[in-house]
Amino acid sequence: ALARRLPLRRGALPLGVAWLLVRVLAQMKPGREGQGTQQACMPSKAESILVSTFKYVAEAWSIQDFVISTETAHQVYVSHFLVFAMEILKPEEIEHGLVFIVQGVSNRLESSIPAVRRSGMAVGEAMARAVGQGELDFEELRTPGPPPGGPEER
């Protein structure tokens, strides 16, 4: 359960932590029943901890309230976690969270905050690459933008 909540932990963390967390979760094996964990929070025997965490984070990331009420630096961190996860997950593992990713990208494209919009675009491009749906290219990502959390943002 902790592994699933860790990427959503409030507070700014360096983006390298998201990269490291993805790699650690990819190496972890699902627990066995009876080891003091809540069964509802555990992935199935066939599902890795990273896949379970990816789905959980993607669902939270997709919610409009998360887009509106979460500080920009944390939005960027969680978006990077999703991008890093999609770089190593198999397409069939990503499909479980695909509807959430699409909804989250859509919600972020409506944001007036450039860093939030750009983080959604980065996740959208990573998703397209990961599931082999051709090249998705958001031109706004190729132009210089303000750093996350700058003066025009929250």
Per residue of the chain (154 residues), give pLDDT as tens. Answer: 555 556 666 666 667 777 777 878 887 777 643 343 344 344 455 578 889 889 999 999 999 999 999 888 888 889 999 999 999 999 999 998 999 999 999 999 999 998 999 999 999 988 988 888 767 666 666 666 654 444 444 4
* 120 occurs within a structural domain: yes
* 13 occurs within a structural domain: yes
Which pLDDT score, from 0 to 100, does residue 149 have?
Answer: 47
* 153 occurs within a structural domain: no
Q: Please state, in angstroms and rounded to a whole number, the distance separating the CA atoms of residues 42 and 20.
A: 21
**Nearest-5° angle of CA 145, CA 53, CA 118?**
10
Which pLDDT score, from 0 to 100, does residue 110 have?
Answer: 93
Look at the block and give the residue holding tokens 């996860």: 85
Which pLDDT score, from 0 to 100, does residue 11 have?
Answer: 63
* 109 occurs within a structural domain: yes
How many structural domains does the chain have? Answer: 1
Range of the domain at 9: 2-142
Look at the block and give the residue holding tokens 């919610």: 63
Q: Please state, in angstroms and rounded to a whole number, the distance separating the CA atoms of residues 96 and 112.
A: 29
CB 72 within 8 A of CB 149: yes
